[in-house]
Amino acid sequence: MFTDALDVSRTLPREFRSVAGKLFPRTGPSLQAAASFANVLGIGEDYGLLLKGTSTEREMGIFLERFQNNLDLLIQKTWVEKADEARKNALLDKVPPFVSLIEKGDYREALREFGVILEELAYLFFGSQSQSDDFTEYTFRIDIEMGLFWWYVGTLSSPQGLEWAKSADSKVLLAVLLLGICYLTNF
Protein backbone atom coordinates (compact mmCIF):
# COMPACT_ATOMS: atom_id res chain seq x y z
CA MET A 1 0.00 0.00 0.00
CA PHE A 2 1.07 3.62 -0.49
CA THR A 3 4.19 2.99 -2.56
CA ASP A 4 6.88 5.67 -2.82
CA ALA A 5 5.12 8.04 -0.43
CA LEU A 6 8.23 10.16 -0.01
CA ASP A 7 8.42 10.81 -3.74
CA VAL A 8 6.24 13.93 -3.63
CA SER A 9 6.85 14.70 -7.29
CA ARG A 10 4.90 11.59 -8.34
CA THR A 11 2.09 11.41 -5.85
CA LEU A 12 1.08 14.96 -4.98
CA PRO A 13 -0.53 17.75 -6.96
CA ARG A 14 2.03 20.45 -7.75
CA GLU A 15 0.58 23.04 -5.35
CA PHE A 16 1.18 20.76 -2.34
CA ARG A 17 4.62 19.38 -3.14
CA SER A 18 6.53 22.06 -1.27
CA VAL A 19 4.64 21.84 2.03
CA ALA A 20 4.53 18.03 1.91
CA GLY A 21 8.19 17.74 0.99
CA LYS A 22 9.10 19.79 4.05
CA LEU A 23 6.98 17.58 6.32
CA PHE A 24 8.91 14.42 5.50
CA PRO A 25 12.35 15.33 4.23
CA ARG A 26 14.93 12.54 4.36
CA THR A 27 16.21 13.99 7.64
CA GLY A 28 12.77 14.08 9.27
CA PRO A 29 10.14 16.76 9.78
CA SER A 30 10.35 19.94 11.80
CA LEU A 31 7.70 21.40 14.09
CA GLN A 32 7.24 24.31 11.69
CA ALA A 33 6.72 21.95 8.73
CA ALA A 34 4.13 19.98 10.72
CA ALA A 35 2.25 23.19 11.55
CA SER A 36 2.25 24.23 7.87
CA PHE A 37 0.95 20.81 6.88
CA ALA A 38 -1.80 21.05 9.52
CA ASN A 39 -2.92 24.34 7.95
CA VAL A 40 -3.14 22.72 4.52
CA LEU A 41 -5.15 19.84 6.02
CA GLY A 42 -7.60 22.37 7.45
CA ILE A 43 -6.83 21.52 11.08
CA GLY A 44 -4.30 24.26 11.81
CA GLU A 45 -6.21 25.97 14.62
CA ASP A 46 -6.96 22.82 16.64
CA TYR A 47 -3.47 21.50 15.97
CA GLY A 48 -1.88 24.76 17.10
CA LEU A 49 -3.84 24.72 20.35
CA LEU A 50 -2.63 21.20 21.10
CA LEU A 51 0.99 22.05 20.44
CA LYS A 52 1.08 25.20 22.55
CA GLY A 53 3.37 23.96 25.26
CA THR A 54 2.23 20.52 24.08
CA SER A 55 -0.96 21.11 26.04
CA THR A 56 -1.55 20.20 29.65
CA GLU A 57 -1.85 16.56 30.56
CA ARG A 58 -5.56 17.08 31.25
CA GLU A 59 -6.20 18.81 27.90
CA MET A 60 -4.30 16.09 26.06
CA GLY A 61 -6.32 13.43 27.91
CA ILE A 62 -9.60 15.08 26.90
CA PHE A 63 -8.42 15.41 23.33
CA LEU A 64 -7.29 11.77 23.15
CA GLU A 65 -10.65 10.68 24.57
CA ARG A 66 -12.45 12.68 21.84
CA PHE A 67 -10.15 11.12 19.25
CA GLN A 68 -10.81 7.60 20.52
CA ASN A 69 -14.57 8.16 20.62
CA ASN A 70 -14.61 9.58 17.09
CA LEU A 71 -12.38 6.84 15.69
CA ASP A 72 -14.51 4.16 17.38
CA LEU A 73 -17.60 5.74 15.85
CA LEU A 74 -16.00 5.88 12.39
CA ILE A 75 -15.01 2.23 12.62
CA GLN A 76 -18.35 1.05 14.00
CA LYS A 77 -20.41 2.96 11.44
CA THR A 78 -18.37 1.72 8.49
CA TRP A 79 -20.33 -0.81 6.52
CA VAL A 80 -18.30 -3.88 5.62
CA GLU A 81 -18.95 -7.29 4.15
CA LYS A 82 -19.61 -10.09 6.65
CA ALA A 83 -16.17 -11.48 5.90
CA ASP A 84 -14.57 -8.23 7.15
CA GLU A 85 -16.46 -7.96 10.46
CA ALA A 86 -13.63 -9.67 12.36
CA ARG A 87 -11.15 -7.25 10.80
CA LYS A 88 -13.30 -4.32 11.89
CA ASN A 89 -13.53 -5.66 15.47
CA ALA A 90 -9.77 -6.27 15.59
CA LEU A 91 -9.23 -2.65 14.59
CA LEU A 92 -11.51 -1.44 17.37
CA ASP A 93 -9.37 -3.42 19.81
CA LYS A 94 -6.17 -1.69 18.62
CA VAL A 95 -7.29 1.85 19.45
CA PRO A 96 -7.12 1.82 23.29
CA PRO A 97 -3.54 0.40 23.39
CA PHE A 98 -2.52 3.03 20.81
CA VAL A 99 -3.92 5.82 22.99
CA SER A 100 -2.10 4.33 25.98
CA LEU A 101 1.21 4.50 24.10
CA ILE A 102 0.69 8.23 23.56
CA GLU A 103 -0.27 8.79 27.19
CA LYS A 104 2.93 6.98 28.25
CA GLY A 105 4.99 9.14 25.90
CA ASP A 106 6.14 6.22 23.73
CA TYR A 107 5.70 8.22 20.52
CA ARG A 108 8.00 6.08 18.40
CA GLU A 109 5.95 2.93 19.04
CA ALA A 110 2.71 4.92 18.84
CA LEU A 111 3.71 6.19 15.39
CA ARG A 112 4.33 2.64 14.20
CA GLU A 113 0.99 1.45 15.62
CA PHE A 114 -0.81 4.46 14.16
CA GLY A 115 0.40 3.47 10.71
CA VAL A 116 -1.07 -0.02 11.19
CA ILE A 117 -4.37 1.39 12.46
CA LEU A 118 -4.62 3.84 9.57
CA GLU A 119 -3.87 1.20 6.95
CA GLU A 120 -6.68 -0.93 8.37
CA LEU A 121 -8.99 2.10 8.47
CA ALA A 122 -8.20 2.78 4.82
CA TYR A 123 -9.18 -0.79 4.00
CA LEU A 124 -12.47 -0.43 5.87
CA PHE A 125 -13.25 2.84 4.07
CA PHE A 126 -12.03 1.98 0.57
CA GLY A 127 -11.75 -1.81 0.40
CA SER A 128 -9.12 -3.36 -1.82
CA GLN A 129 -8.60 -0.01 -3.58
CA SER A 130 -6.60 1.06 -0.48
CA GLN A 131 -3.98 -1.55 -1.36
CA SER A 132 -3.46 -0.44 -4.93
CA ASP A 133 -0.43 1.51 -6.10
CA ASP A 134 -2.56 4.50 -7.10
CA PHE A 135 -4.51 4.78 -3.84
CA THR A 136 -3.12 8.19 -2.90
CA GLU A 137 -3.91 9.58 -6.34
CA TYR A 138 -7.39 8.06 -6.05
CA THR A 139 -8.02 9.88 -2.75
CA PHE A 140 -6.84 13.16 -4.27
CA ARG A 141 -9.54 12.79 -6.91
CA ILE A 142 -12.14 12.45 -4.12
CA ASP A 143 -10.94 15.41 -2.04
CA ILE A 144 -7.63 17.32 -1.84
CA GLU A 145 -7.43 17.36 1.97
CA MET A 146 -8.34 13.68 2.11
CA GLY A 147 -5.64 12.94 -0.44
CA LEU A 148 -3.07 14.82 1.62
CA PHE A 149 -4.15 12.92 4.71
CA TRP A 150 -3.76 9.52 3.03
CA TRP A 151 -0.42 10.62 1.57
CA TYR A 152 0.65 11.44 5.15
CA VAL A 153 -0.57 7.98 6.26
CA GLY A 154 1.40 6.27 3.52
CA THR A 155 4.49 8.20 4.45
CA LEU A 156 4.17 7.19 8.12
CA SER A 157 3.92 3.55 7.09
CA SER A 158 6.70 3.60 4.53
CA PRO A 159 10.14 2.16 5.32
CA GLN A 160 11.61 5.67 4.91
CA GLY A 161 9.03 7.14 7.29
CA LEU A 162 9.75 4.49 9.90
CA GLU A 163 13.50 5.03 9.43
CA TRP A 164 13.46 8.78 10.17
CA ALA A 165 11.24 8.08 13.21
CA LYS A 166 14.08 6.08 14.78
CA SER A 167 16.17 9.21 15.28
CA ALA A 168 13.48 11.90 15.50
CA ASP A 169 13.09 14.04 18.59
CA SER A 170 10.07 13.14 20.79
CA LYS A 171 8.49 16.59 20.27
CA VAL A 172 8.62 16.10 16.51
CA LEU A 173 7.23 12.56 16.78
CA LEU A 174 4.32 13.84 18.85
CA ALA A 175 3.75 16.69 16.39
CA VAL A 176 3.58 14.25 13.47
CA LEU A 177 1.25 11.93 15.40
CA LEU A 178 -1.04 14.82 16.29
CA LEU A 179 -1.49 15.66 12.59
CA GLY A 180 -3.35 12.42 11.98
CA ILE A 181 -5.08 12.40 15.33
CA CYS A 182 -6.41 15.95 14.83
CA TYR A 183 -7.56 15.16 11.32
CA LEU A 184 -9.48 12.07 12.41
CA THR A 185 -10.90 13.81 15.47
CA ASN A 186 -12.37 16.46 13.17
CA PHE A 187 -13.36 14.04 10.37
- Does residue 1 have a pLDDT over 50? no
HEC string of 102-134 equals: HHHCCHHHHHHHHHHHHHHHHHHHHHHHHHCCC
**CA dihedral (161, 112, 186, 170) positive or negative:** negative
pLDDT per residue as tens digits for the range 76-125: 888 888 888 899 999 999 999 999 999 999 999 999 999 999 999 999 99
Most confident of 90-99, 148-157, 160-169: 90-99
What is the C-alpha to C-alpha distance for residues 123 and 120, in angstroms, rounded to an integer? Answer: 5
Distance in angstroms (rounded) separating the CA atoms of residues 145 and 43: 10
